[in-house]
Structure 1
Amino acid sequence: MNTTIDMLKSRRSVPPLAMTGPGPDAAELETMLALAARVPDHGKLAPWRFIVFEGEGRARAGDIILKSFDAANPGADESRREIERKRFLHAPVVVGVVSRPVAHGKIPEWEQVLSVGAVCMNLTIAANAMGFATSWLTQWYSYDAAAASALGLKPGEKFAGFIHIGGSKGAPEDRPRPALADIVTRF
Structure 2
Amino acid sequence: MTDTSPASNARNYPLLAIPHIQLHGPVDEAMYSSFKSQLAGAPTDGPLVVSITTLGGDPEMARAMGDHIRLLREYTGRETLFLGKVAVYSAGATFMSAFPVDSRFLTRHSRIMVHERQMQSTIELNGPLNTLRYALEAKLHEIADSIQIQEEGFRDLVKGSKIELEDLKAKAASNWYIEADEARDLGLVLDVI
Scaled to the shorter chain, the TM-score interval is: under 0.3
* Larger relative contact order (CA 8 Å, sep ≥ 6): 1
